Amino acid sequence: MARWQPDAPGRLAAAALDLFEERGYENTTVIEIAERAGLTKSTFFRYFPDKREVLFGRGAVTGLLVEGIASAPLAAGPLDAVADALDALGRTFFTADRREFSRRRQAVLDAHAELREREALKRIDLTASMTDALARRGVPSLTARVATQLGMLAWEIAFDQWTDTGDTEDFGPLARRALADVRAAGAGC
């Protein structure tokens, strides 16, 4: 690949995923990732602090979720604001053209404890950011925490369904349905 081609971060992520699948996470270096993407090591470090971060979207997901909550209608309740955030995520990040990449990425994460740990830490940060976004809407702290946790559970359920090889439904409707199921399950407790 020529160095002038656009989307260096996307190219680096695709190259890393290919190499992690081929050689394993532990046996892949930053230099190999950069070379596979047709870029330099310094370009890699311009976008990512280390090879663990190359599969985690550089904070794009956090921004989408926070903006989705912030832009929800003023009358929306906390869970409805979270649902709007999950819709935004589905429209922008979990799109049909990224389904196969997401499926492959999840398989790599599942196979490597260090990457699962990084994913768990990223989810903690996402949860905190969403809770803060709800608090800025005036939602009481405990309610914001509960709504965010329920939203994250719905996200996990929807993501598993969305990456299922037999499913072709968009992420947004899956997330809405999962959130409704989570609400119903909570009401029955």
Task: Kindly tell me if the per-residue pLDDT of 129 is higher than 90.
Answer: yes
* Residue 89 within any structural domain of the chain: yes
Look at the chain and report how many structural domains it folds into: 2
**C-alpha to C-alpha distance for 75 and 94, rounded to whole angstroms:** 27
Nearest Cα neighbor of 147 from 166, 162, 132, 125 is 132
What are the pLDDT digits (tens) for 12-21? 999 999 999 9
Whether the CB-CB separation of 111 and 167 falls below 8 Å is answered with: no
The CATH number of whichever domain residue 32 belongs to comes to 1.10.10.60
**Both 26 and 115 in a single domain?**
no
pTM for this predicted structure = 0.86
**Both 45 and 130 in a single domain?**
no
What band does 164 get if pLDDT is binned at 50, 70 and 90? Answer: confident
Say how many residues make up the chain.
Answer: 189
Q: What is the pLDDT of residue 1?
A: 46
Q: What is the pLDDT of residue 59?
A: 74
**Residue type at position 173:** P
**C-alpha to C-alpha distance for 177 and 25, rounded to whole angstroms:** 34
What band does 188 get if pLDDT is binned at 50, 70 and 90? Answer: confident
The CATH number of whichever domain residue 72 belongs to comes to 1.10.357.10
Task: Kindly tell me if the per-residue pLDDT of 125 is higher than 60.
Answer: yes
